[in-house]
Amino acid sequence: MLDRLNPPKLQRARGRAEVGFVQKSGKSKLQHLHQAGCLKAILPNTHEKEPEVVFVNTAGGIAGDDQLNIDVSLTQRTSATFTTQTAERVYRSNGGAGRIDVKLQVGIGASLCWLPQETIIFDGAHLKRKLDVELSTNSEILLLESFMLGRKAMGEQVTTGAVNDRWNIRRDGKLVFAEALRIDDVSSLLGPAALQENLAFATMVFASPDAHLHLERLRAILQTCNARCAASAWDGVLIARFVAADAYVLRKALIPTIENFRHAAMPRVWQL
């Protein structure tokens, strides 16, 4: 009986990764690296000019009450691309939310690409994620986040769960873009304003002083996409949204879109 009054405290995953780059003789060089718990940051050798960082969650996914923190700092005129080694799996929660907090600081004239692989939401998952971006004058960020509800090929169906994903992009302290994804009733997603039969969705944001000038170019790229997608822009912000039947169709749309838009290859970990 006493056991029930004091349920055993389950072991929960904690992970923290901090990565900072500075500019040295015209190149972005790693200045700060801190890894703790289940999060690792790997810097593979690539043929690209800019460094690439791959985050690895060695816990193999996220369960209720897990907590991951990522802090990235790019100082003046540096550029780097960040991704994840695999899709992040968010498993059924026994209670609390699994939490991911990401802070990205982009210094004057710096350029950051945030291209993690998709987040897979399993039945009963509870995820609370925050992504805070601080941009300085003339800095830019390209940000892509994609979600998948269950793995269709594995016959998985998501019928319950909660997802709360909040992004805030500030430039010199002023909020310029906010995304607030909130799913608290999975059954409502079948409707015509939500997803219908689709299970995958993504949002891409490019924030740069001249971002809106790329709207027509992005629209032309999107015309070749098989997923449902559209682009829009206003001062300094360019966005595209995607809805697709499953993760495969979504990836098939995202990879060429991002590659054509950036004129650069996707990080090697991204495969169809």
Partner 1 sequence: MSIELHRLISWFSPAFPIGAFSYSHGLEAAIACGDVADGATLKSWLTHLLRHGSGWNDCLLIVSAYNADAEAEIQQLRDLAIALSAGKERQLESCLQGDAFAKTVSVVSKQRVEGGPLPVVVGNVAKMQGIVLSDLLSVYLHAFVSNLISAATRSMALGQIEAQQILAELFPQIDDVATNALSASLDDVGSCSFLADLASMQHETIQPRQFRT
Interface with partner 1 (CB under 8 A), residue from 1, 5, 175, 272: 175
Angle at 74 between CA 70 and CA 79, to 5 degrees: 115
Q: Does 32 bind partner 1 (CB under 8 A)?
A: no
User: What are the distances in angstroms from CA 107 to CA 10, 14, 27, 30?
Assistant: 40, 28, 15, 15
86 C-beta neighbours (distance < 10 Å), count: 16
Q: Does 214 bind partner 1 (CB under 8 A)?
A: no
Q: CA 105 to CA 112: how far, in whole Å?
A: 9
Q: How far is the CB of 75 from partner 1 (least distance, A)?
A: 25
> Exposed, middle or buried, 174 (CB in 10 Å: 0-12/13-18/19+)?
exposed
Q: Does 239 bind partner 1 (CB under 8 A)?
A: yes
Q: CA 127 to CA 11: how far, in whole Å?
A: 18
Interface with partner 1 (CB under 8 A), residue from 50, 132, 156, 179: 179
87 and 118 in contact (C-beta within 8 Å)? yes
**In the stretch 104-143, what mask flags binding to partner 1 with x, by CB under 8 A?**
----------------------------------------
- Per CB under 8 A, the segment of 78-86, 112-120, 153-161, 165-173 that binds partner 1 is 165-173
**C-alpha 184, offset from chain centre:** 20
Q: CA 250 to CA 199: how far, in whole Å?
A: 10
Most distant CA atoms of the chain, gap in Å:
67
Single-letter amino acid code for the residue at 79: S
Site size for partner 1 (CB under 8 A): 37
98 and 65 in contact (C-beta within 8 Å)? yes
- Per CB under 8 A, the segment of 9-17, 50-58, 60-68, 178-186 that binds partner 1 is 178-186
Interface with partner 1 (CB under 8 A), residue from 7, 8, 26, 192: 192
Interface with partner 1 (CB under 8 A), residue from 201, 206, 261, 270: 201
Q: How far is the CB of 218 from partner 1 (least distance, A)?
A: 11
- Per CB under 8 A, the segment of 2-10, 27-35, 186-194, 255-263 that binds partner 1 is 186-194
Q: Does 232 bind partner 1 (CB under 8 A)?
A: yes
Residues at the interface with partner 1 (CB under 8 A): 164, 166, 168-169, 174-185, 188-189, 191-196, 198, 201, 219, 228-234, 239, 241, 243
